[in-house]
Amino acid sequence: MDLKYWPCFLTSSTGGTTFPDLAWTIPVIANSASDLVPTLFACQTINKVINVRNWLISELQQVLPKSEAKNRELAKKLVLPFHAEMDSIDQRETLGALASRSAPWIVATILANVGIDIAVTNVICVDMPDSVEDMVQWVGRASCDGSGGLLVVYASEEMEYIPEAEHDLSTYGTKLTKVKIK
């Protein structure tokens, strides 16, 4: 199956602690890790990783069927961070949880692209990558098992002009199909 590519423009700022543009990622109800599609949320900064993770935890705990206190703890186990300020033990634990599917969502900085084998179905670039090459690196994390997946790249409205040459990522060795999701 192909990897689907969904470029979209932000309707809200990602500079704060809420991320309404990501609301579509939250399921109506989630009973366990298996109800969440393995997804990497890519961020430019550690502060953004922390804020996106906290927001996802807050949103997830509302759709989990347990008590509020238990939901918070479960949601924290389902959404893990990955960045350079974590010690190597915590980084390995995060990667192990992702590999075992006990933590299907990871919120990471570019560190996730540095020689680490992370297999996820979807990649959501919360921040616009610095270059097409950086975006292709993120693409390499999505659907690496060939089962299909989704790459979502958010950009500010000021980025509406993208050179035509950058529309076709196949020149970088990656087969993408552009889709629009409602």
Long-range CB pairs of 71-77 (<8 Å, 24+ gap) are 77/102, 77/103
Residue 144 clears pLDDT 80, i.e. is over it: no
What residues are paired with 3 via a beta bridge?
A: 149, 176
3-state secondary structure of 120: strand
Among the ranges given (97-111, 117-131, 142-156, 160-174), the one the predictor scored with the smallest mean pLDDT: 160-174
The whole-number pLDDT of residue 41 equals 92
3-state secondary structure of 60: helix
* Rounded average pLDDT over 57-78: 86
Cβ contacts of 15 within 8 Å, gap of 6 or more: none
- Look over the chain and give the mean of its residue pLDDT values, rounded to a whole number: 79
- In terms of average pLDDT, the best of 33-42, 105-114, 130-139, 152-161 is 33-42
The whole-number pLDDT of residue 125 equals 87
Domain range summary for the chain, segments of one domain joined by +: 32-154
First-residue to last-residue Cα distance in the chain: 21
Which CATH number fits the domain 32-154, given the four candidates 3.30.360.10, 3.30.1150.10, 3.40.640.10, 3.40.50.300? Answer: 3.40.50.300
* Rounded average pLDDT over 33-62: 91
Q: Are 126 and 22 in contact (CB under 8 A)?
A: yes
Residue 82 clears pLDDT 60, i.e. is over it: yes
